[in-house]
Structure 1
């Protein structure tokens, strides 16, 4: 590489490569060799930046979790605008982008990865757990605006929305659900806790 030309962050390059492999071939195809081949770098590059492949995968998952948390403020800021169903439909579509769905499948398919994530403080199924917290926070904000009933059980409602949405998005070989089908699901689940047509 010529002197003075910035080299792209190798960690980001490896994460991007892993996401491409996940999307194209699924969790079973994700190996250190597949990642480094996809990234166009030597296998040693991965091991220079991560203790082992499970450490790499754990940081890949944590990177996606961090991105999800970054979006939480924008969703909370949407409380009181548009309709609750519209905001939730958009949020769940965003939460379950194809990479996030593939990462959830990766986590559920690898025992060692789940153990590593638990050691790092994760609970439940990473991404799904954090998505549930994001949705619960938004619902609480809407309750403060009077658009969710005061007695709504958010600890049940949030995981119900996330779990039902995940089932719609989970099959990576099927077409993604339409906005209308997701909106219908959200409306059906939230109608009992919306005091108006919001």
Structure 2
């Protein structure tokens, strides 16, 4: 895009460009020049919308956290329908399947300044993964209230266990996505002792 031509929804275009670079080339390749080149705009466009590159990256992470929170609302609404194992497997696949969440975690780990900036508003845990664990915990608590999980099911331990296992399944960008059955198998193993519903 030539310099001087306005971008429609510049923030989203820049975020999408950053995600493509992150997924294709990893966090080391993510620079302001790479992002604006990928988005097809002048470098000044990014700095017109964000104070600096770390501010841009922090907003990208916060935007993706908002998406996880929206996914959590839909997941909680599914409590009592389908199977617990199936719902959890679908949630992990949606969360990690595009590899965006995996890439964001790598980015946060890679950039000290970004991590420090995010710590101002999110002092504990790894952003995105912490919100994902909260999403799973809320869903499991809803299923426990409905009697589809054991009354003593420790959702605060099960949820990070599921997130960690899901992250490991999807973390290898080169190997491609795991098969749906592999995701279901891991979920079933984690929740086997607490699920109180018939196996389909």
Q: Structure 1-normalised TM-score? A: 0.94
Aligned counterpart, 2:178: 177
Cα shift at 1:88: 0.3
Alignment of structure 1 residues 154-173 onto 2, 5 Å: 154-173=155-174
SS in 2 for 1:149: coil
Alignment of structure 1 residues 33-112 onto 2, 5 Å: 33-96=33-96, 97-112=98-113
Using the alignment, how far apart are the partners of 2:194 and 2:111 within structure 1?
A: 37
Using the alignment, how far apart are the partners of 2:41 and 2:7 within structure 1?
A: 12
Aligned counterpart, 2:131: 130
SS in 1 for 2:192: helix
Moved over 2 A (4+): 120-123, 195-198
Cα shift at 1:91: 0.4
Using the alignment, how far apart are the partners of 1:186 and 1:195 within structure 2?
A: 14
Aligned counterpart, 2:193: 192
Using the alignment, how far apart are the partners of 1:157 and 1:102 within structure 2?
A: 23
Give a deviation string over 1:165-185, Cα, whole Å, max 9, x none.
Answer: 101111111121110000000
SS in 1 for 2:193: helix
CA RMSD of aligned residues (A): 1.5
Aligned counterpart, 1:31: 31
Aligned counterpart, 1:119: 120
SS in 1 for 2:51: coil
Using the alignment, how far apart are the partners of 1:155 and 1:49 within structure 2?
A: 38
Using the alignment, how far apart are the partners of 1:48 and 1:191 within structure 2?
A: 52
Using the alignment, how far apart are the partners of 1:24 and 1:173 within structure 2?
A: 10
Q: Structure 2-normalised TM-score? A: 0.93
